[in-house]
Structure 1
Amino acid sequence: MDVAGKVAIVTGGGSGIGDALAARLAHAGARVVVVDLDASAAEKTVARIVAEHPDSAVAAGADASDATAIARIIEIAETRFGRVDLYFANAGITGMHGLDLDDDQWESVFDVNLRAHIRAAKLLVPGWVERGEGYFVSTASAAGLLTQIGAAGYSVTKHAAVGFAEWLSVTYGDQGVRVSCICPMGVNTPLLYAGSNSGESLGDLGTRAVTSSAAVLEPADVAEIVLDGIREEQFLILPHPEVLQMYRNKGADYDRWLRGMRRYQRSLMSES
C-alpha cells in the first residue's frame, strides 16, 4: 500500500516507535491521528509533525485499550480526515515480571498488548471489508516469535498479538484487509529500559537479554523499515533480520532451542 493520501491512527504515538511511525507516515504524505495515554506527549509529537507538514496530524489523549476510547479515536479521524485507512496498534507495556504478576497486572498487560488490537479490529474491519480496503498493523515483538527472558506477561501477550494478526490476515486477507506484524528486538525506547530501571532482578535480566542479543536500533530506522514493509504488504516485518534465523532454529528443533535459551539465561544471571 502506498500511504500517500491515506489516513492512519497510531497508538502509543507519544514516544518511541509510535512517535517515529507518525512522523514517517506524515513525511510520506499520510494524515495521522497520534494517540497516547499521555495527551501532552501526543501533542508534542503532533507539534513536530505539523511544523513540517501542516494540517497532517492531530493529537488524541486516550487509553488505546478501552473500546469506548478507540471508538472516539476513530470518530476523530473520520471527522477530521474523512476515514481510517490504516490502524497501527502500537501501544504496549512490558509486564516485566515472572510468576509474581498478580491478576490485575495480567489483566493490564493483556488489555494493552492484545485486547486493544482485538477491540480496534472489531470496530474497523467490517467497514474495511465493505470498502474492500484497509490495513491493520500490529506492533508485536521478536518476543512474540521467540520469547522474552524475565518477562512472562510481555512474552505471552506478544505471542498472542502475533497469533491475532495471523488470524486477521487469514480470515480477511481475501476481502481487501491487509495485515502486517512488526517483530523487532531491541529498539532505543523507554520500553526497552523499563526492566533495567525497575530495580527488580527479573526486569534487569529481561533488558540485558535483549540488549546483549542484537544491535539496539533507533525508532526512526524501525519506522523506515516498517513503511517499506507496508509498501510491499509484507505480513512479518523484521527490523532485525537475524530474528528470522532464530525463528527457523526454534522451529527446526524446539528442545535444542529451549536448552540454548536456558544456557543464555544462565550466562546472563552469572554476569549480574
Structure 2
Amino acid sequence: MAKAFLSQGAEAVVLADLDEQAVQAAAADIGCEGYACNVTRENDVQTLVERVLQKHGHIDLFCSNAGAGGQGLLTDAPNEVWQQQWELHVMSHLYAARAVLPGMLERGEGYLLNTASAAGLLAAIGSGPYTVSKAAAVKLAEFLSITHGDEGIRVSVLCPQGVNTAMAPRSLGDGQTDGIIEPEQLAQTVVEAIAEERFYVLPHPEVEDYVRRKGDNIDRWLSGMRRLRKRST
C-alpha cells in the first residue's frame, strides 16, 4: 500500500511497525519514513501521530493495519490470546482514531482505513479470538463512519481473505479462502476503493456475495457454516 500511495503522488508516506529494524529496512527499500510503534499501546500511537504532525503538518490518510493470527476456540484459547487479539485488532484502531481525529476534524477532512478481515464479516472457523475481534473491528469502523461521516471524515474497512504475506494460510482448506492474492493486487483495490470512498474494501469480490447471502437468511448461513466446520475437522 505504501508503494501504491507513493505511485499515486502522495506527498509523504510513513510506515510504523513493532519491529524497528524491519520497518527501517522496508522504509529504505520503498523510499519513505519508518518508525517503531507498538499499536497496542496508546501512548506509542499518540507519539507516532505527534511526530508525523510536527514534521508534515497534517495526516490525510491513516491506515491502521496491524494484525496477527490467534488460534483456538472458546474452550482451548486462553484468556491471554483473547485479550491480545482484542488489543491488536480493536483497541489499536481506537487508539489511531483518537490520535488523528482532532486534527482531521479541525481541518474538516481526513480518511481512516482500518484493516479487518473477511473473517470479520463471515467467520474463521478455526479461530474464535480472531473472528470475534475482527468482527468488532468492522463494527468500530461502522461507528466511526456514523459518528463522523458528516464532519468530513471518510472511513473504509479492508476485509481481505488470503494475501501473500506472513499471515497467508499455509494451505487452502474448505471455505478458507477464494485464493491467495498478491499484496500489489490488494493495494490496487485499496486505491480504487478510497478514490470512490467505498466503505467495504473487498480484494476478494466473492465476499460481497457471501455477506449478502448471510444477511438474506442468517439461520441458513449458520447451518451451512456448521456443515463446513464438520467437513474441515
In structure 2, give the amino acid aligned to 1:72. Answer: T
1:12 maps to none
Residues 172-251 of structure 1: matches in 2 within 5 Å? 172-193=148-169, 196=170, 208-209=173-174, 211=176, 213-251=177-215
2:104 to 112, 125, 128: 128
- Report whether the alignment pairs 1:35 with 2:11: no
Structure 2: unaligned runs, 5 residues or longer: none
- Report whether the alignment pairs 1:47 with 2:18: no
- Report whether the alignment pairs 1:63 with 2:28: no
Deviations 1:8-32 (A, max 9, x none): xxxxxxxxxxxxx111112212111
Deviation at 1:209, TM superposition (A): 4.6
1:109 maps to 85
CA contact (8 A) 2:18 2:37 kept: yes
In structure 1, give the amino acid aligned to 2:218. Answer: Y
Runs of 4+ in 1 over 3 A off after TM superposition: none
In structure 2, give the amino acid aligned to 1:151. Answer: S
Q: Distance in 1 between matches of 2:229 and 2:82?
A: 23
CA contact (8 A) 1:143 1:185 kept: yes
Q: Distance in 2 between matches of 1:105 and 1:259?
A: 27
Deviation at 1:126, TM superposition (A): 2.4
In structure 2, give the amino acid aligned to 1:259. Answer: S
Q: Aligned to 1:137, what secondary structure does the other structure show? A: strand
2:220 maps to 256
- Report whether the alignment pairs 1:148 with 2:137: no
- Going from structure 1 to structure 2, the CA distance change for 1:209 and 1:161 (only over 3 Å counts) comes to farther
Q: Distance in 2 between matches of 1:161 and 1:60?
A: 24
Deviation at 1:169, TM superposition (A): 0.4
Normalising by structure 1, report the TM-score: 0.81
2:56 maps to 81
CA contact (8 A) 1:136 1:178 kept: yes
In structure 2, give the amino acid aligned to 1:129. Answer: L
Deviation at 1:48, TM superposition (A): 1.4
CA contact (8 A) 1:113 1:161 kept: yes
Q: Aligned to 1:208, what secondary structure does the other structure show? A: coil
Deviation at 1:41, TM superposition (A): 1.5
Q: Distance in 2 between matches of 1:27 and 1:42?
A: 19
In structure 2, give the amino acid aligned to 1:47. Answer: A
CA contact (8 A) 1:25 1:32 kept: yes
1:265 to 221, 229, 233: 229
1:25 maps to 5
Q: Aligned to 2:15, what secondary structure does the other structure show? A: strand
- Report whether the alignment pairs 1:96 with 2:71: yes
Deviation at 1:149, TM superposition (A): 0.8
Deviation at 1:49, TM superposition (A): 1.3
Structure 1: unaligned runs, 5 residues or longer: 1-20, 51-56, 197-203
In structure 2, give the amino acid aligned to 1:157. Answer: S
Q: Aligned to 2:13, what secondary structure does the other structure show? A: strand
In structure 1, give the amino acid aligned to 2:86. Answer: F
Deviations 1:215-255 (A, max 9, x none): 21111100110011001111111111110110011111111
In structure 1, give the amino acid aligned to 2:34. Answer: A
Q: Distance in 1 between matches of 2:9 and 2:173?
A: 38
